[in-house]
Structure 1
Amino acid sequence: MKEFVVYTVMRLALFMASFGVVVGLMALAFDGRYNLFWAIILAFLISGVASFFILDRQREAFARRVEARASRASAAFEERKAREDRD
């Protein structure tokens, strides 16, 4: 669960930073005005691409945790199934 929280918080922080940069650049380019819709869309795209490279380690840690949990659940299921077959 910790890996999920860390990745999610870092992803949100990256989006907020991207949003700030996009709004700042749009405000500079258009005399202090910016379109909120396009600022959100651009920030989403920029943060998505950036998170692919920047947050790779956190995403891998989360994936390892999910895979380990799924393996434990599968092993427990197989063990219960084998025990049921013996009965």
Structure 2
Amino acid sequence: MKEFVVYTVMRIVLFMASFGIVVGIMALAFDGRYNLFWAIILAFLISGVASYFILNRQREAFARRVEARAAKASAAFEERKAREDRD
């Protein structure tokens, strides 16, 4: 669960930073005005691409954790199934 929280918090921080940068650039370019809709869309796109590269290690750790839990659940299921077959 820790990996999920770390990755999610880092994604949110990355989005907020991207949003701040986009709003700042738009405000500078358009005399202090900016379109909130386009600022959010651009921030999502920028943070999505950036997170693919920047948060790769956290995403891999989360994927390993999920895979380990799935393997453990699958092994437990197979063990219960084999025990049921013996009975």
Deviation track 1:48-74 (CA, whole Å, cap 9, x = no partner) reads: 000000000000000000000000000
Percent identity over the alignment is: 91
The separation in 2 between residues aligned to 1:12 and 1:52, in whole angstroms, is 14
The separation in 2 between residues aligned to 1:61 and 1:18, in whole angstroms, is 24
Gaps of 5+ in 2: none
SS at the partner of 1:47?
helix
Cα offset, 1:39, TM superposition: 0.1
Gaps of 5+ in 1: none
Q: TM-score, normalised by structure 1?
A: 1.00
Cα offset, 1:14, TM superposition: 0.1
Cα offset, 1:12, TM superposition: 0.2
Q: 4+ residue stretches of structure 1 with deviation over 3 A?
A: none
Cα offset, 1:21, TM superposition: 0.1
Cα offset, 1:78, TM superposition: 0.1
Cα offset, 1:2, TM superposition: 0.1
The separation in 2 between residues aligned to 1:35 and 1:11, in whole angstroms, is 23
CA RMSD of aligned residues (A): 0.2
In structure 2, what is the equivalent of residue 42 of structure 1? 42
Cα offset, 1:84, TM superposition: 0.2
SS at the partner of 2:32?
coil
